[in-house]
Structure 1
Amino acid sequence: MSQTRALMLVTVIANLLFDPDTYKVTALVDYDCSHTGHPLHEFFFSSFSVNYYVVSAEPEVATALFDQFPSPLPESKPALGTELRDCSPPQWEIMFMFEEELEKVGAARPSSIQGAKQITEIYEFMSEICPFHFVMDRWVETQSEEKLQTCRNEQRVILEKALAKWGF
């Protein structure tokens, strides 16, 4: 295969690893957020569209994921539009189906990871200490000094509550 052809395939077909002789796909890779991490870390970010993630504003979702799904399942409220998004209400049937499928294949899931609830609480605490956008130069540079001070003040209140929760 010519170098030009190989380069073109790599740039056009992002996230695919393939055999250059047969053109068969051998792997699907995603380097955007690649890292070595705890198995629970996947559940901090993935499956937002079905609320199957442990950092949840809804305590009953977190309880279901860490401990056990309620029986019968709560009624799922319809999602706005045709596509589920991270702001959609919990889709209990889909979440439960996902839980069952993970269990069938023996995959780690929040309810099977020892200490998952405590790890999540620490993750949430770390997120409260320093939200990710505070260290993003492109975000900070676009904010006025007044806006940044407002954010600092709001963050101070959040941090004080978090520290009180942890006994400080």
Structure 2
Amino acid sequence: MSDTITTLPAGLATLEHRTEIIEALIFDNSPLGRDSNNFVHLVDLAEAIGHCGTNTSASQPGTAKLDSSVIKVVVRLLNPNAMIDEEVRVENEVAAICLVQKALISYPCKIVPKVFAWQGSKHGLGWIVQEYLPGEQLSLHFSDLQTDKKAVVLDQVAKIFKMIQSFQHGVEGFGGLGFDGKGSVVAGRSSLWSVGPFSTYAEMYQAIFAKQLELTQATPLLDDWKDTGLQERLQKLSTSGGFANLLAHTGDIQPTLVHGDFGAENILIDPGTLQITGLLDFDFSHIASPADEYFYSFPGFCGLVPGPFEDEDLQLLRRYQTEGFPITPSAQEATSHSVDWTVARLWQAALEKHHVASPKDIENITQLAGIYWFLLDVCPPFFNVPRWLARKTDEQKIAAKKAIGENLDKYLQRWGY
């Protein structure tokens, strides 16, 4: 194992070859069941062996020595169908892990996995060998927990989030993450949007808009929004300076470390004690604003800030998130089906207990949320996901496009276009 981890062959990018590589390198392995945008294998080394030759920290930034006591590691192979920038995503993840480890240095237990070795896709096969952390995904248990137990878990999540949100990371600018020639973490190209780095938040969001407009031309279901009247209006918003004006108030935004997928699927717990044992999956991590984590994370905790044109329940949630929850539940809460108000209130209470900057504390978050969800609607990612397309009938695809188009029309009308 000490030789093979650091000499994985390059140039083998097919799913079949990725699996074959793992099977050939180790004595025993099994799918770990934590797959999302990667193929994740638990590698059992069978017994503790010397790993003195595997410490790549001298030549690879972000890596730790593979101690001789380690008998299990996790191997993450990139899923090329994950709609993420393959060329930068591994380096982005490793750099993010470095920052989050530092952010949580004073947390009572170590919940971010060490990285022992990695290789980006620009050199061939993209992979990470990292520390195995015990525990089960919170998503498997959270909905079944009693209210007081949910509060115990959310209290820990809020404490961790506070440490990440307030961390002085030292990265200049906005965008994805990477390493410079000295091994220091710097801003880089975003793994999710494939743009960056940027000096300002406004520049980043303008580049995302341009990228999304470009993608509409390469998305067959959208076909550049032709015959809808939207294409010309979107282009006018871009070229007239109107979109830039929407971002005019963002000049003082503090560059903030964003996990980008901080949810129950990426949190490990000990089911017996309910203690958090792991925080995983930094594929989408980047530097943005304090508001942005609330556009990517916490959906299972009713912590995602919705856009302005969702259903009535989500609109009420958005109002409570950004203005404050009333002491007495409203009549609408009692009949709601799309929001778990008990969890929403528990989450808000946990944020307040740990002095987290919650949506109601962040200036202009409703405007920023509108901009973010608008950008997603310009070219919805799932319109290019083969699995989604295969599951939908032509009628369903047309209906989805129509609904998104109606949302875009509302945004453009709101902004005078």
Offset, 1:133 = 1.4
**Within 1, Cα distance between the matches of 2:325 and 2:288?**
26
5 Å-filtered alignment, 1:30-49, equals 30-49=281-300
Distance 1:47 1:74, change over 3 A: farther
- Aligned residue for 2:286, secondary structure, equals coil
Q: Which deviates the most, 65-74 or 141-150?
A: 141-150
1:70 aligns with 2:315: no
Q: In the alignment, is residue 61 of structure 1 matched against residue 317 of structure 2? A: yes
Query: Distance in 2 between the 1:111 and 1:39 partners?
Result: 12
Q: 1:101 to 1:149 in 2, by over 3 A?
A: closer
* 1:2 matched residue in structure 2: 50
CA deviations over 1:106-132 (Å, ceiling 9, x no partner): 212101111111101111211221111
Distance 1:93 1:152 in 2: 33
Question: Equivalents in 2 of 1:91, 1:146: separation in Å?
Answer: 31
Say yes or no: does 1:11 pair with 2:59: no
The whole-number CA distance in structure 2 between the counterparts of 1:53 and 1:47 is 6
What 5-or-longer segments of structure 1 have no aligned partner? 80-87
Counterpart residue identity of residue 113, structure 2: L
Q: Which amino acid is the alignment partner of residue 324 of structure 2?
A: Q
Q: Which amino acid aligns with 1:95?
A: A
Indicate conservation of the 8 Å contact 2:324/2:360, yes or no.
yes
Question: In 1, Cα distance between the equivalents of 2:413 and 2:367?
Answer: 16
Aligned equivalents of 1:39 and 1:11: distance in 2?
Answer: 31
Give the strand-richer structure, 1 or 2.
Answer: 2
1:62-93 deviation per Cα after TM superposition (whole angstroms, max 9, x unaligned): 110001112312365589xxxxxxxx532323
Per the alignment, do residues 115 and 158 of structure 1 end up closer, same or farther by CA in structure 2, a change over 3 Å counting? closer
Tell which deviates more after alignment, 151-160 or 53-62: 151-160
CA deviation after TM superposition for structure 1 residue 46, in Å: 2.6
Look up the match of 1:84.
none
Flag the structure with higher helix content. Answer: 1
Question: What is residue 303 of structure 2 aligned with on the other side?
Answer: 52
Relative to 1, partners in 2 of residues 1:11 and 1:66: Cα closer, same or farther, differing over 3 Å?
A: same
Matched, 1:159 2:408: yes
Q: 1:136 to 1:36 in 2, by over 3 A?
A: farther
Aligned to 1:85: none
One-letter code aligned to 1:49:
G
How many residues matched? Answer: 157
Aligned amino acid, residue 17 of structure 1: P
8 Å contact kept, 2:73–2:132? no
SS at match of 1:97: helix
TM-score by length of 1: 0.67
Q: Normalising by the residue count of structure 2, what TM-score does the alignment of the two structures yield?
A: 0.31
Distance 1:2 1:77, change over 3 A: farther
Instruction: Work out whether 1:99 is the aligned partner of 2:348.
Output: yes
CA RMSD of aligned residues (A): 4.0
C-alpha displacement at 1:152, in angstroms?
Answer: 4.9
Distance in 2, matches of 1:72 and 1:112, equals 21
* Deviation sequence 1:20-71 (CA, Å, 0-9, x none): 9xx9979744223222232222222333234222116321111100011123
Classify 1:109/1:148 alpha carbon distance in 2 versus 1 (closer, same or farther; 3 Å). same
How many percent of aligned residue pairs carry the same amino acid?
24
The 10-residue stretch of structure 1 (129-138 or 103-112) with the greater mean CA deviation from structure 2: 129-138
Structure ID, larger Rg? 2
Deviation at 1:102, TM superposition (A): 0.9
